[in-house]
Chain A
Amino acid sequence: MAHVERQQWDVVIVGAGGAGLRAAIEAREQGLRTAVICKSLFGKAHTVMAEGGIAASMGNVNEGDNWQVHFRDTMRGGKFLNQWRMAELHAREAPERVWELETWGALFDRTPDGRISQRNFGGHEYPRLAHVGDRTGLELIRTLQQKVVSLQQEDFKESGDYEARIKVFQECTVTQILKEPGSEGEDRVSGVFCYERESGRFFVIEAPAVVLATGGIGKSFKVTSNSWEYTGDGHALALLAGASLINMEFVQFHPTGMVWPPSVKGILVTESVRGDGGVLRNSEGKRFMFDYVPDVFKEKYAESEQEADGWYEDPDNNRRPPELLPRDEVARAINAEVKAGRGSPHGGVFLDVSTRMSAETIKRRLPSMHHQFRELADVDITAEPMEVGPTCHYVMGGVDVDSDTAAARGVPGLFAAGEVAGGMHGSNRLGGNSLSDLLVFGRRAGLYAAEYARGCARERPRVADEQIDTAAAEALRPFGVGPAPADEETAGEAAEESAENPYAVHQDLQRAMNDLVGIIRREEEMSEALDRLAELRERARRAKVEGHRQFNPGWHLALDLRNMLLVSECVARAALNRTESRGGHTRDDHPEMDREWRRANLVCTLAAEGASGAEAETGRAGRIALRRREMPPIRKDLLELFEKEELIKYLTDEELTSE
């Protein structure tokens, strides 16, 4: 048995983005010793890429705003598939979470009377997004990072040790959640198995509570705004630990990613461009979004350019421009325009601010976009339009959690918050609702994880040596030194067959998901995707890496492949099963929204264990089991926030009359 260092902490947070750091701050403030593990350097998490803002109904710019309006917008954006309790908590608590950031040093842009300024965004009825130019995510992550440091400074004063009660293990990856077998069949969490990216050294953190805050899955797609970290680690760790994932068929394609040059294809162009007045045009110069307002949103959006333009100055007497429809609608519209041959030279459409605002205003309000296009595409957005097209941006699906406590159902001691948690956004997330989600549910996860861990203080769960050995062996397999895969026959074959390059497997996976389970889906293509995923799973098993364990990106990727393949199968399987179109799931062969489907969540779990003997056989059947589950009915007082005419579009007659 290899010697593996063990450390004891009370709460472990996996991920150091907005949700992870907010959870860590909360757990530490509850007095618990908190460890944070992150794949990148501290302060580099994907949250820095968030641009537009944090949605919170502070009502600083329009006094009409309140949590009920925010709740309503969120449910509409998600096409009523949201876990309504999460949407409620989110809308209620977001303002407190934003104000709290100011007390930690955040500097948001201001209104003339000195409050936090708020900007318009797609699907939000009022200007609601607290922001700092178009670099709000950076402000969020830096503020949380600096709050963590300030807590460490307090601890240093008290104990002489900065890391006495909160420590960040940076550039480390978790490969397994460890569990202690329970007497009544319910295993509880006992810690995590990790490796240091820098040295390749393994270590174990023993802790009764683990919070997953690992973000999303975008790296399984070829065109994505997501960074390398987004390999679905938390989704896969949760599955492997026995938790369920819900809503995995809903993947958000952000309507505006860069399309040129090829090396930057997919990089995000913030929705603020449209929120601040930018318009979409096709190759004929037409503002095509007026042709794409769906029935459910007809009353809320302008019908003429004149009315749309009037809205920026006088929102009470004009309806909003259709460029500010929820993201799924805009992404589909762009896709359709390009397909109809009305796209831009590089296969996107035109997004223009240059004719809408002065150069000065553009530079002040959209400095990162100005910089990004100038540096990477030789485009001056103050003088010419941008070319944009859809890019894989966010996964609505995630760990099935309790709405109030963020506890993963079925796995005591496991919690999840942020993008890795499912339910909050339903079938489609509104822009700006992610940063607020991170803060609201990051805090809740930290709070309840701390409470749970405190309850385990008398009898902490133990980590068995065998579990560590198994985890270590799995992590070493790409070097060809680990034990055979579960089944001997497969192992024999694997040894005979040629070794696979993990980079090549990854590229093929990205292509398969992009082409076959992308923005517009068809039954045959998704079936084919499942076949390809089965082949890729076999190839990934044979992935071999060169060199040694010290900062070896090939090895890291080989390990990440397991996670990407698991979550990709969840997406493909759930998407194939849901025979309707809703939010971030569009079926060419089932183009309509179906009210019956609104009540259903598709729940993914790991397929039954012990199938190892037939693993090669069951490969095609996959590793994921899918079942349909009814959603709990929406609470009456929340339903009453909507007009009956609107509810009819979403709810079944039975639901409407069962009052």
Chain B
Amino acid sequence: MTTQAHHGAGPGTEGIGGAVSGEAPDTTRPETSYDAHFEVWRGDVDGGGLEDFTVEVNEGEVVLDIIHRLQATQAPDLAVRWNCKAGKCGSCSAEINGRPRLLCMTRMSVFDRDEIVTVTPLRAFPVVRDLVTDVGFNYEKARQVPAFVPPPDLGPGEYRMQQEDVGRSQEFRKCIECFLCQDTCHVVRDHEENKAAFAGPRFLMRVAELDMHPLDAAEEAGHDRKTAAQDDHGLGYCNITKCCTEVCPENIKITDNALIPLKERAADRKYDPLVWLGNKIRRRTT
């Protein structure tokens, strides 16, 4: 899966785990610190490669802690994007052993102590430097989704909605925009040519969120979100393999709760002649 799949035992890979005590390492130092072997992609738009590091790991730490330790002790100019370090902002997205993940929510305890931990930048986006990629694609796509349309007859403070009706869209608004789903989606992961026509799971989910908003008045204003999902945002490219759902750190059921229902609604639109006619008439009168 990863572009740098063959990270064989480099120099000094063996025996690193016991570097401090010098005795049978994994049995005499339970739950304290150990030295891990990291391979971190370093480079920029002109190219780069994996760099080997041996680095201390302590109990309870996450991969981002280790990257920070590298910055503080071995590679002060190692570029990484991060912010909250609590899984809330979605900045520190990268690929760990080839899997898209948040650096701050990946515990070191999920790896064996002698396992090589490989950290590479998100593959679907152009590298800026080291672990930092240009995620501008996502901001472009965000702009292409027409905004919430407030109901014209309700003023501020007059909105009334039931919890069960806002719950569906609220699930999608848990999204922290880490763009891991955008990175993993096979429609664009290895197909740069699809990027123009395809908004990606995150922004198709945004369309679904607005479409399911109890008070969104887009339709009354002449904009059909269901048809737009299909025609403008490339919903048809999605063949529901659920890769996006698998990597979502917020556990949002992107495919089941957003994309599939949106597909069903879009299909209803397309094939229901009454809906089609109704739309035409309404659009004409507004």
Tell whether B276 is near chain A: CB-to-CB under 8 Å: no
Among B88, B130, B139, B147, the residue within 8 A (CB) of A48 is B88
Question: Which residues of chain A are near B85, meaning CB under 8 Å?
Answer: 227, 264, 267
CA distance A31 to B77 in the complex (A): 41
Contact with A along B157-171 (1 / 0, CB 8 A): 101111100100110
CA distance A108 to B163 in the complex (A): 9
User: In the complex, are the beta carbons of B147 and A153 less than 8 A apart?
Assistant: yes
Question: Which residues of chain A are near B163, meaning CB under 8 Å?
Answer: 109-110, 117
The smallest C-beta distance from A405 to any residue of chain B, in angstroms, reads: 23
Main secondary structure of the interface of B (DSSP, over half): loop
Tell whether B243 is near chain A: CB-to-CB under 8 Å: no
Stretch from A132-140, A174-182, A288-296 forming part of the interface with B: A132-140
The smallest C-beta distance from A112 to any residue of chain B, in angstroms, reads: 8
CA distance A264 to B65 in the complex (A): 9
Among A103, A268, A502, the residue within 8 A (CB) of B86 is A268
Tell whether A162 is near chain B: CB-to-CB under 8 Å: yes
Tell whether B49 is near chain A: CB-to-CB under 8 Å: no
Question: Which residues of chain B are near A546, meaning CB under 8 Å?
Answer: 76-77
Tell whether B82 is near chain A: CB-to-CB under 8 Å: yes
CA distance A84 to B162 in the complex (A): 37
Interface residues on A, range: 35 or more
Q: Which of B210-238 contact A (CB under 8 A)?
A: 210, 213, 216
The smallest C-beta distance from B151 to any residue of chain A, in angstroms, reads: 9
Tell whether A545 is near chain B: CB-to-CB under 8 Å: yes
CA distance A433 to B207 in the complex (A): 32
User: In the complex, are the beta carbons of A377 and B135 less than 8 A apart?
Assistant: no
Tell whether B83 is near chain A: CB-to-CB under 8 Å: yes
Contact with B along A82-116 (1 / 0, CB 8 A): 00000000000001100110111101111001110
Stretch from A39-47, A238-246, A332-340, A469-477 forming part of the interface with B: A39-47
Contact with B along A30-57 (1 / 0, CB 8 A): 0000000000111110101100000000
Contact with B along A497-513 (1 / 0, CB 8 A): 00001111001000000
Which B residue sits closest to A147, measured CB to CB?
B147
User: In the complex, are the beta carbons of B156 and A142 less than 8 A apart?
Assistant: no
Tell whether A621 is near chain B: CB-to-CB under 8 Å: no
Contact with A along B123-142 (1 / 0, CB 8 A): 00000111010010001001
Among A150, A162, A375, the residue within 8 A (CB) of B147 is A150
Q: Which of A237-284 contact B (CB under 8 A)?
A: 260-264, 267-268
Q: Known contacts A103-B150, A260-B60; is A113 also within 8 Å of B160 by CB?
A: yes
The smallest C-beta distance from B202 to any residue of chain A, in angstroms, reads: 12
CA distance A96 to B155 in the complex (A): 11
The smallest C-beta distance from B68 to any residue of chain A, in angstroms, reads: 9
Tell whether A638 is near chain B: CB-to-CB under 8 Å: no
Which A residue sits closest to B59, measured CB to CB?
A261
Among B132, B139, B176, the residue within 8 A (CB) of A198 is B132
User: In the complex, are the beta carbons of A150 and B76 less than 8 A apart?
Assistant: no
Tell whether B18 is near chain A: CB-to-CB under 8 Å: no
Q: Which of A104, A110, A545 has most B Cβ within 10 Å?
A: A110
Q: Which of B102-135 contact A (CB under 8 A)?
A: 105, 107, 128-130, 132, 135
User: In the complex, are the beta carbons of A95 and B83 less than 8 A apart?
Assistant: no
Among B91, B130, B147, the residue within 8 A (CB) of A44 is B91
Question: Which residues of chain A are near B139, meaning CB under 8 Å?
Answer: 42
Tell whether B87 is near chain A: CB-to-CB under 8 Å: yes
Which B residue sits closest to A553, measured CB to CB?
B71
User: In the complex, are the beta carbons of B107 and A138 less than 8 A apart?
Assistant: no
User: In the complex, are the beta carbons of B147 and A149 less than 8 A apart?
Assistant: yes
Question: Which residues of chain B are near A267, meaning CB under 8 Å?
Answer: 85-86
Which B residue sits closest to A198, measured CB to CB?
B128
CA distance A85 to B213 in the complex (A): 38
User: In the complex, are the beta carbons of A553 and B80 less than 8 A apart?
Assistant: yes
Question: Which residues of chain A are near B65, meaning CB under 8 Å?
Answer: 263
CA distance A317 to B222 in the complex (A): 53
Question: Which residues of chain A are near B107, meaning CB under 8 Å?
Answer: 375-376
CA distance A611 to B151 in the complex (A): 61
Q: Which of A58, A105, A133, A372 has most B Cβ within 10 Å?
A: A105
> Can you identify 19 A-B contacts, CB atoms within 8 angstroms?
A40-B81, A40-B83, A40-B91, A48-B84, A49-B84, A105-B150, A146-B147, A227-B85, A227-B89, A228-B82, A261-B59, A262-B58, A262-B59, A263-B62, A263-B65, A267-B85, A372-B87, A376-B87, A555-B77
Given contacts A110-B163, A138-B173, A502-B76, 20 further A-B contacts (CB under 8 A): A41-B135, A44-B90, A48-B89, A49-B86, A107-B161, A109-B163, A135-B174, A139-B173, A156-B143, A162-B143, A227-B83, A261-B61, A262-B61, A263-B58, A263-B65, A264-B86, A372-B86, A501-B72, A551-B132, A554-B76
